[in-house]
């Protein structure tokens, strides 16, 4: 299946439903890494992710009889929306099994395309088992989110667009969950440019492909734990594994904390919302030991619910020392709060929350605890504020903010 003619065919077919996602040059990440970094914003697709490519191409290859049976798949959200939208285009019924942990926005968007959603299991693999069960029971045609060479061919059309727009690209960074995107992108990229480097990126809490590479065979990791829900897969695809193993040059893993600050960087520097799985390739940039290269990071999706977004932003600000909390002990007498506040104001700190605990000790006249949560411009500014409090006679202690 994974031949140049098939990729060319898929590239023409997916144009019927995809947006043109031109590369975005990132001055910020280029300066951070010493390379020329470009972003492939698949988060701007109609369904919010690249998955529409593989789903639509796959369904286009089915017979009328197969489509008439109804379509079913399992997905953490992005493939779900791709199948739902593509099925709607072809007038076919779609049933989507999603993990119970799927963000609400992905569930609602999938339903908005006319699909029937079944919530089952805590992780993708459990939802997938349920989807196979329903397919056998009702005769539905199963559309696998990643372990399908036709689906992978559709996903690989991203590489065609990248190389057409940036022929001298040196590296492509691609997120990995089950491996379908990595299969399509790496295989086509190597067909078009044999010397190109294609790097897969996984969350360290769900690094099933890296484990499979190290063992030389498909390997299950359990349990999986990551905020990158779209790549929280326990077992990579068996059909696509040989292609990934042959065409990927390396696999990098990144921690959840790195995704949090990457989200903040993307919002502030590119004004783009990218989901945690889509940020894997951004967080991986600093892990590359290269300089002066042209690098493309694929932003695979942007479907993130507002509650998750809020949590990620808050944690990112805390990690960057732009929000922090200090605990200081004060005599319980009038004027002390004003005195502390003036010290902070003199250093341009902005107080956003105060917690005053009069019962910190039994001797209130000796000390009460004041916890001050404030905004700063970063680590240097935070340190200046703490030093000013020390010079004013206090003993500030940094504690975890409770926002």
Domains of the chain in start order, with CATH, are 4-50+150-316 (3.40.50.1100), 52-146 (3.40.50.1100), 321-399 (3.30.70.260)
- 125 pLDDT above the threshold of 90: no
What pLDDT shows up at residue 1? Answer: 75
What pLDDT shows up at residue 105? Answer: 78
DSSP alpha helix (H) spans, 145-255: 149-155, 157-165, 180-192, 208-215, 241-247
What pLDDT shows up at residue 73? Answer: 96
| 255 Cβ neighbours under 8 A, 6+ residues apart | 203, 204, 205
What pLDDT shows up at residue 360? Answer: 62
Q: In the structure, what pLDDT confidence band is assigned to residue 77 with cuts at 50, 70 and 90?
A: confident
Q: Compute the C-alpha angle 82/86/92, nearest 5°.
A: 125
| 297 Cβ neighbours under 8 A, 6+ residues apart | 29, 37, 38, 39, 40, 173, 281, 282, 284, 285
2-57 residue pLDDT tens: 999 999 999 999 999 999 999 999 999 999 999 999 999 999 999 999 999 999 99
Cα 123 to chain centroid distance, Å, stands at 16
82-95 residue pLDDT tens: 999 999 999 999 99
- 266 preceded by cis ω (within 30°)? no
348-363 residue pLDDT tens: 999 999 988 776 666 6
Sort 116 into a burial class: Cβ within 10 Å, 0-12 / 13-18 / 19+: middle
What average pLDDT score do residues 252-260 get?
Answer: 96
279-314 residue pLDDT tens: 999 999 999 999 999 999 999 999 888 888 999 999
Q: Position of tokens 């997120």?
A: 175
Q: pTM of this prediction?
A: 0.89
| 364 Cβ neighbours under 8 A, 6+ residues apart | 332, 358
Please choose, from the candidates 240, 236, 239, the residue with its C-alpha nearest in 3D space to the C-alpha of residue 224.
Answer: 236
Q: In the structure, what pLDDT confidence band is assigned to residue 207 with cuts at 50, 70 and 90?
A: very high
**CA gyration radius, the chain:** 25
What pLDDT shows up at residue 363? Answer: 62
What pLDDT shows up at residue 356? Answer: 81
What average pLDDT score do residues 329-347 get?
Answer: 88
- The torsion angle over the Cα atoms of residues 289, 294, 298 and 299, rounded to 10 degrees, is 90
For the record, the structure tokens of 347 come out as: 């250093």
Q: Position of tokens 């493939």?
A: 79
Number of helices (H) and strands (E), helices first, in the chain? 17, 14
- 365 pLDDT above the threshold of 80: no
What pLDDT shows up at residue 103? Answer: 75
Q: Which residues are catalytic?
A: 51, 300
Please choose, from the candidates 287, 298, 227, 223, the residue with its C-alpha nearest in 3D space to the C-alpha of residue 256.
Answer: 227
Please choose, from the candidates 92, 101, 5, the residue with its C-alpha nearest in 3D space to the C-alpha of residue 55.
Answer: 92
- The torsion angle over the Cα atoms of residues 186, 262, 85 and 22, rounded to 10 degrees, is -60
């Amino acid at each position: 299946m994974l031949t140049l003619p098939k990729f060319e065919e898929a590239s023409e077919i997916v144009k019927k439903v995809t947006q043109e996602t031109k590369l975005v040059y990132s001055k910020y990440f280029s300066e951070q890494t010493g390379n020329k970094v470009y972003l492939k914003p698949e988060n701007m697709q109609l369904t919010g992710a690249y998955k529409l490519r593989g789903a639509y191409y796959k369904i286009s290859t089915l017979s009328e009889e197969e489509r008439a049976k109804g379509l079913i798949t399992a997905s953490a959200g992005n493939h779900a929306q791709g199948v739902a939208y593509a099925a709607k285009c072809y007038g076919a019924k779609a049933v989507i099994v999603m993990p119970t942990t799927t963000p609400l926005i992905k569930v609602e968007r999938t339903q908005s395309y006319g699909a029937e959603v079944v919530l089952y299991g805590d992780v993708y693999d459990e939802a997938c088992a349920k989807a196979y069960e329903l397919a056998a029971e009702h005769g539905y045609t199963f559309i696998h989110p990643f372990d399908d060479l036709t689906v992978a061919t559709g996903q690989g059309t991203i590489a065609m667009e990248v190389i057409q727009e940036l022929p001298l690209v040196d590296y492509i960074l691609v997120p990995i969950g089950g491996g379908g995107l990595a299969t399509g992108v790496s295989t086509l990229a190597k067909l078009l440019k044999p010397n190109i480097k294609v790097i897969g990126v996984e969350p360290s809490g769900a690094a099933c492909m890296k484990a499979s590479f190290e063992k030389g065979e498909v390997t299950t990791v359990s349990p999986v734990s990551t905020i990158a829900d779209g790549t929280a897969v326990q077992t990579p695809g068996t059909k696509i594994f040989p292609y990934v193993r042959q065409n990927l040059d390396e696999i990098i893993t990144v921690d959840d904390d790195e995704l949090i600050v990457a989200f903040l960087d993307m919002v502030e520097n590119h004004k783009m919302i990218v989901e945690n799985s889509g940020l894997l390739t951004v967080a991986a940039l600093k892990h590359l030991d290269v300089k002066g290269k042209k690098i493309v990071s694929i932003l695979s999706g942007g479907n993130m619910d507002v509650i998750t977004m809020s949590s990620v932003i808050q944690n990112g600000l805390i990690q960057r020392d732009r929000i922090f909390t200090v605990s200081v002990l004060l005599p319980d007498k009038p004027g002390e709060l004003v005195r502390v506040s003036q010290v902070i104001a003199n250093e341009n700190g902005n107080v956003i929350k105060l917690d005053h605990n009069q019962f910190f000790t039994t001797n209130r006249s000796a000390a009460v605890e004041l916890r001050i949560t404030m905004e700063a411009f970063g680590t240097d500014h935070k340190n200046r504020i703490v030093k000013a409090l020390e010079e004013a006679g206090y003993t500030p202690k940094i504690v975890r903010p409770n926002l």
